Amino acid sequence: LLRSKKHSHRDPNMRHGRAKAARKTLKFYSINCNIKAPYKLILDGNFLAASVRFKVPLVERLTKLLQGNEFQIYTTRSALEELNTLPGEAFQKARQFGLDECIILEKKDILKCSREEEDMKGSSIDQKAFDPKEDIVKLVQGGNDQGYFVATQDEKLSDKIRERLAYVPQMRMARGGVLIFESPSANSRRHAMREERGKQNTGGGTMTKEEKHLIDKLREERIRLKREQQQQADNGTGERKKRKAKGPNPLSCKKKKSSGNAKSNSTARR
């Protein structure tokens, strides 16, 4: 079920700026949270329906958006059940695409990614007791360890992921069937900056607590010695020693003219 690019020509419908932004976003997630190919994409029901409505060749577009890297597409069982309850040919085609082309995440798979697994042990799992939105949130919460991308048209779900969860790449379908790969959220960038500062403070993560404590102690000792030296320079009075006035700079002073030169100048004038 791995998808990969079979041809190297660029998509004429994708502008260069959008392709460049996609490369930059993929690089951000690769560096900061180790999300690398083969990528895992979760497609929710409304995203599948939008791709059918706009007649988008989804696999081909995703391949080009992801720079030809291999990927797998997933959907949840609850999303397929939701599509089955909606009237209209587009929703049924979207459901069929999910059944034929996607890896289906069952409830037990979703529970493994959440803390509810312990609470559900020994009890039967009710398929209808799960919500498609909540299923996706459970899959990507806690730092998105599985490295899932989320493709959704649901603005509330997208906002919730963007504001509350970090390191979750998102996609959506714009008007006309244009596939948009969103830039990393502000929350994700804050997490990345915080982790980078932590690495700097701990020598790239290789410094132990004892080593950090020793460095802090040495720094404090150096500051203390500097203060003592300053106090000694102040003669113990707490005031800085005033500098004595020095003579004028000889290079900045004009030279006095000799008397002989003055007489010769006066005769020359006559």
* Alpha carbons 169 and 26: distance in angstroms, whole number: 9
Mind listing the pLDDT tens digit for each residue in 252-268? 776 666 655 555 555 55
* Alpha carbons 89 and 97: distance in angstroms, whole number: 12
When the pLDDT of each residue in the chain is averaged and rounded to a whole number, the result is: 82
State residue 210's pLDDT score: 73
Q: Which residues contact 92 (CB under 8 A, 6 or more apart)?
A: 83, 84
State residue 250's pLDDT score: 74
State residue 7's pLDDT score: 45
State residue 146's pLDDT score: 93
- Asked whether residue 211 carries a pLDDT value surpassing 80, the answer given is no
User: Is residue 102 within 8 Å of 119, Cβ to Cβ?
Assistant: no
Mind listing the pLDDT tens digit for each residue in 97-150? 999 999 999 988 888 776 554 444 444 455 555 689 999 999 999 889 999 999
State residue 117's pLDDT score: 45
- The mean pLDDT of 221-236, rounded to a whole number, is 79
Q: Which residue has the higher pLDDT, 124 or 96?
A: 96
User: Is residue 159 within 8 Å of 182, Cβ to Cβ?
Assistant: no
Q: Among residues of the chain, what percentage have pLDDT more than 70? A: 73
* Alpha carbons 72 and 41: distance in angstroms, whole number: 6
Note if the pTM is more than 0.85.
no
- Asked whether residue 204 carries a pLDDT value surpassing 70, the answer given is no
* Alpha carbons 106 and 102: distance in angstroms, whole number: 12
- Asked whether residue 236 carries a pLDDT value surpassing 70, the answer given is no
State residue 181's pLDDT score: 95
Mind listing the pLDDT tens digit for each residue in 1-58? 566 554 444 455 456 788 899 999 999 999 999 999 999 999 999 999 999 999 999 9
State residue 120's pLDDT score: 46
* Alpha carbons 270 and 258: distance in angstroms, whole number: 19
